[in-house]
Structure 1
Amino acid sequence: MSHTDMSTPFAPPIRLGLLLIPGFALMGYATLVEAFRAANTLSGRTLYTWSHVSAQGAAVEASCGARILADAQVGARIDCATLFVFAGGDPRNFHDPATYGWLRALARGGCAIAGISGGPYVMARAGLLAGRRATIHWEHRPLLAEHFPDVAIESGLYVIDGAVITCAGGTAGLDLALALIARDHGHALAARVGEWFIRTTPRDAAGPQRQSPAERHGTTNRVVLQALATIEAGLDRPLPRTQIAAACGRSLRQIERLFQAELGQSLAQTMLTLRLDSAAHRLRTTDASVTQIALDCGFASAAHFSRRVRQRFGVPPSGLRKAVGQAV
């Protein structure tokens, strides 16, 4: 996979393929395509061209309901340097052996394959991630880890492992596109594209996908954050509150006062909330049984777990399982 940089004034454009999986997230798609469009506009040249592909050759509907027309059908002879696979929602719902075979054939022919958001899961099903480093949207990470344990999953924004590229999606698509533009045509153009989209602070490929614990919980109190980390590290076997307090070098009464002041709820309420949120995430993103998830999140029985889930979310575990997350 070799590209020509800006020093060659009449180099042909780099051809890209955009494979759209039904339910793909428009955000992840737009951040990439718009970056390549901006590179063309700002350089005054056609540096990139692209064509849309779908499994049936028909228009594909994004998770928001927008529909994008396809230029080609899976299986067609397509001349592209990189094929991007856009998927969102629940990538388990897409199962098409013809697509997997086509992706393998393109990879054998020297085409780089790049999965966006849930796209890496589609690539893994095609056998393209075995033994590879990869990332995926955090919502899909448990699913990828469960079904493909031979993939070395990283938690960053994107991973370029030779001709195999994976990206968490959302705004990380812009970070990946800028990295590719810099590789192909220099850092100066990539910086201009970043400014075009009001992206003034570059993000490293290994940057975090999620907020820090302080941002996520809305507190900067060191003791509370230490207690939260202790809780999250032992969701499967919840520690007694006195042990959590002792681990933080505080009495239980002091910890309780801090939690009420910083989070507006007791230590016990916080522990239950974190366990239920973890369980809800696993219900949406893995195929593990309700009983297994209940045990993994520290509940004594499936019945007790079901009661707690209904109290918090208003539906039984089966209702959460049907409420598929829409990763960007």
Structure 2
Amino acid sequence: MKQVKVSFILLPGFALTSFSLAIEALSVANLLYGEEVYQYQICHAHVSNNNDSHNNNSNHPTTVSSSNHVPIETSGDLNLCQNSDLIFVCGYLNTADYDNPALFSLLRRVARKKGRIAALSCASFILAKAGLLQGKSCTLVPEYKTTFTELYPDIPIQENLYTVTDNLLTSAGGTATLDMLLYLISQDHGRDFAHNASQQFLLERIRSSEEIQTSRRHLNLRMKSPCLGAAVELMEKHISHPYQITTLANRIGTTQRNLETVFQKYEQISPGRYYLRLRLQQARKMIEETHLSLTKVAQATGFSSQSHFSKCFKDLYNQSPSEIRQINSSLN
């Protein structure tokens, strides 16, 4: 059995859950097979240069902190990934703005050689920036769909747990990572072997790529009221072009009056105010995690007037969009 050389590239603020599940899946496969069929290494995305004051060797370990500040030690930089058969790009926080020409170049070379590339959590931004998603679709963490669409309007986003297009794989993060890894293992070693691997994680079944992402929050809201859950799910899908509340009610098969009653009962807020808050929360995320202009942020969250956007934003957060941007820039 040919050994698969695997490289995990950790970006600052990567999602620890996705990374850990991917590592565990490969480790379980090695254990079940009785030999190291997946030889993996962990790398950081910095490339040493001759001006570095420290050791210039690509094998010089460097730690990378996850989104929850857990440091992971790596074996070296991108130079270690040159001969990889399979690369996992691990991202999450601030991935939309991450810029690394050396990484993009590496991924393009691997793609040309028909190597497999998997984007975990928000790393679909990296594949898009590297030009690898032209003419393709992808999956990513649901909360970043609006930002992704604003930056890459020509790349369709699938609501699947993960998407496979040629040798590129993108996932929604979280436990969908494990489903994607089991798919990879099944491609290499067959469905029965992948099923045996899934048993080590106490899974009842392996979910397919076509299965739709299901938000636990939406399920909880639907348990309170089917009308409430359906309304919020529709609101989140239409941030940039928000519905009138009357239209929203019609879309889910109820009346505006009933919708008002449901929101007041369970959320103590009107549906209009709830919708506005969702849009402003998305706007704040885009302000903090991208370099999009405030005008574009306003447009992406459904505001035609910059002044109206700023007023609504300040009413909610007691700070203007420009103040939030300035604070975030100083922290970074």
TM-score (ref. length: structure 1)? 0.80
Q: Which deviations, in whole Å up to 9, do the C-alpha atoms of 1:1-42 show, x marking residues without a partner?
A: xxxxxxxxxx23222111222222211111101101011112
After superposing the two structures, state which structure 1 stretch, 79-88 or 279-288, moved more: 279-288
Q: Which deviations, in whole Å up to 9, do the C-alpha atoms of 1:42-79 show, x marking residues without a partner?
A: 23222211122222344131223333333343235743
Counterparts of 1:269 and 1:77 in 2: how far apart (Å)? 49
Calculate percent identity across the aligned residue pairs: 28
Q: Residue type matched to 2:14 in 1?
A: F
CA gap of 1:72–1:317, structure 2 versus 1, over 3 A, is: same
For 1:31, the equivalent position in structure 2 comes to: 21
What's the secondary structure of 1:30's corresponding residue?
Answer: helix
Counterparts of 1:315 and 1:118 in 2: how far apart (Å)? 28
Counterparts of 1:200 and 1:115 in 2: how far apart (Å)? 25
Q: Counterparts in 2 of 1:103-142, with a 5 A limit?
A: 103-142=107-146
After superposing the two structures, state which structure 1 stretch, 292-301 or 164-173, moved more: 292-301
1:40 to 16, 23, 30: 30
After superposing the two structures, state which structure 1 stretch, 50-59 or 240-249, moved more: 240-249
Counterparts of 1:243 and 1:153 in 2: how far apart (Å)? 24
1:62 to 58, 62, 65: 65
Counterparts of 1:242 and 1:111 in 2: how far apart (Å)? 50
2:12 to 22, 30, 40: 22
For 2:51, the equivalent position in structure 1 comes to: none
Contact 2:82 2:106 in 1 (8 A): no
After superposing the two structures, state which structure 1 stretch, 247-256 or 177-186, moved more: 247-256
For 2:52, the equivalent position in structure 1 comes to: none
For 2:309, the equivalent position in structure 1 comes to: 305
* Superposition deviation, residue 236 in structure 1: 5.7
Contact 1:129 1:151 in 2 (8 A): yes
After superposing the two structures, state which structure 1 stretch, 73-82 or 23-32, moved more: 73-82
How many aligned residue pairs are there? 314
Contact 1:142 1:285 in 2 (8 A): no
2:207 to 203, 209, 230: 203
CA gap of 1:45–1:319, structure 2 versus 1, over 3 A, is: farther
Contact 1:81 1:112 in 2 (8 A): yes
Segments of structure 1 that go 5 or more residues without pairing to the other structure are 1-10
Q: Counterparts in 2 of 1:148-187, with a 5 A limit?
A: 148-187=152-191
Counterparts of 1:233 and 1:150 in 2: how far apart (Å)? 17
Contact 2:146 2:239 in 1 (8 A): no
After superposing the two structures, state which structure 1 stretch, 50-59 or 246-255, moved more: 246-255
For 2:100, the equivalent position in structure 1 comes to: 96
Q: Over aligned residues, Cα RMSD in angstroms?
A: 3.3
Counterparts of 2:154 and 2:302 in 1: how far apart (Å)? 27
Q: Which deviations, in whole Å up to 9, do the C-alpha atoms of 1:83-123 show, x marking residues without a partner?
A: 11112211144322222222222222232122212222212
* Superposition deviation, residue 251 in structure 1: 6.0
CA gap of 1:316–1:198, structure 2 versus 1, over 3 A, is: farther
For 2:3, the equivalent position in structure 1 comes to: 13
Q: Which deviations, in whole Å up to 9, do the C-alpha atoms of 1:160-201 show, x marking residues without a partner?
A: 111122222222211111111111112222222222123223
For 2:78, the equivalent position in structure 1 comes to: 74
Counterparts of 1:115 and 1:303 in 2: how far apart (Å)? 38
Q: Counterparts in 2 of 1:195-274, with a 5 A limit?
A: 195-211=199-215, 214-215=218-219, 217-219=221-223, 221-224=225-228, 228=232, 253-274=257-278
What's the secondary structure of 1:85's corresponding residue?
Answer: strand
Counterparts of 1:250 and 1:148 in 2: how far apart (Å)? 34
Counterparts of 1:296 and 1:125 in 2: how far apart (Å)? 19
What's the secondary structure of 1:200's corresponding residue?
Answer: coil
Of structures 1 and 2, the one scoring higher in RCO (CA 8 A, sep 6+) is 1
Q: Residue type matched to 2:134 in 1?
A: A
* Superposition deviation, residue 320 in structure 1: 5.1
Counterparts of 1:268 and 1:112 in 2: how far apart (Å)? 45
Counterparts of 1:139 and 1:313 in 2: how far apart (Å)? 19
Counterparts of 2:41 and 2:251 in 1: how far apart (Å)? 56
Counterparts of 2:176 and 2:124 in 1: how far apart (Å)? 14
